[in-house]
Amino acid sequence: MALEDAKTEIDHAFTREDPRGLSFENPFAGAPSFLRRRYTKDLAGVDVAILGVPFDQAVTHRPGTRFGPRAIREISSLQPCDAPYGWGFSPLEEFTVVDTGDIAFDYAKTWEVPHAIEAAARRILDAGAAAITLGGDHSITLPLLRAHAAKFGPVALVQFDAHSDSWVDDDPERIDHGTFVYKAVKEGLIDVEKSVAIGIRTDNPDTLGITIIDAPEVHRAGPDGIARRVRDIVGEVPAYLTFDIDALDPAFAPGTGTPVWGGLSTGQAAIILRGLAGLDIVGGDVVEVSPQYDTTGATAVAGAHVATEIMCLWGWTRRG
């Protein structure tokens, strides 16, 4: 069936009639949307909306994550011909998932970008859909958290990262990918007692009450044990999952702006993410993919799989 469909399917991003279902379009051809989902701004009846935020003007080192959403969409074209491995259900067939494209913003007015991000996320949430966002640098998570906290109240933050991103920043006009957690805590957007950061391997002694599971602990304890610990910490409260691709070791994700050695492998990350099934994941993002630093495309591959895993985590408690 797949081979027959591949002969006729093309540009599913625009031509698919049924928003649900797998796609057998040749992965090397056609218009690249995330997982070959339909591009649309119409959110009526949508369960999950993929949102792109190509913003990278808040980085402390190498720029380039503005190209992350495009790279993730392009490389994801290899995935939608099968249900995600190991989950036991097919979210693309059970749910209506669309790609709502990127936000529009004036790149020369950076102070306006957080408001545009929050407004785009609120539009999705107000329509009754979940938002999974492709970044972009990690500063974009703060306005995304504002939108989610407005709907769900303070959320548990499940953060995969090499950095805590909780450095002190009391200037409301600054936009910085290294301070979004600090500001989110000070604004009351997250429940710190239910929040956890995984993969940390840079020094920042003030944890703000968030549980830190650093990368060496992941290596020593193993991913299954880490997943159990995260589930115990988060419990049953609504949770937002943010995955900075630099949580992965540079050997697995060299295409990022602030790489740090000693990180997670893609295998460890996959086991931990799947081990979180059952948490009430209400939204999430994958950020800091800078494809130009990675000639292999492996970083974008990891980003596409992480975004798919977030979709599966959201769907796990809502399937059937």
Binding annotation for Mn(2+):
138, 161, 163, 165, 244, 246
Determine the Cα–Cα distance for residues 84 and 312; give it in Å rounded to an integer: 8
Q: Which two tokens stand for residue 91?
A: 């979210």
Determine the Cα–Cα distance for residues 39 and 32; give it in Å rounded to an integer: 10
Amino acid present at 134: L
Nearest to 100 by CA among 55, 17, 33: 33
Annotated binding site: 138, 161, 163, 165, 244, 246
Q: Which two tokens stand for residue 139?
A: 């500063």
What is the number of alpha carbons within 13 Å of residue 310 lying toward its C-beta?
Answer: 30
- Alpha carbon of 149 to those of 43, 189, 286: distances in Å? 20, 6, 18
Query: Edge-to-edge strands of the sheet including 211-214?
Result: 97-102, 48-53, 130-135, 281-287, 239-244, 156-160, 196-200, 211-214
> Around Cβ 186, how many Cβ atoms within 10 Å?
14
Sequence-distant (6+) residues with CB within 8 A of 51 are 100, 101, 102, 103, 120, 121, 124, 131, 132, 133, 134
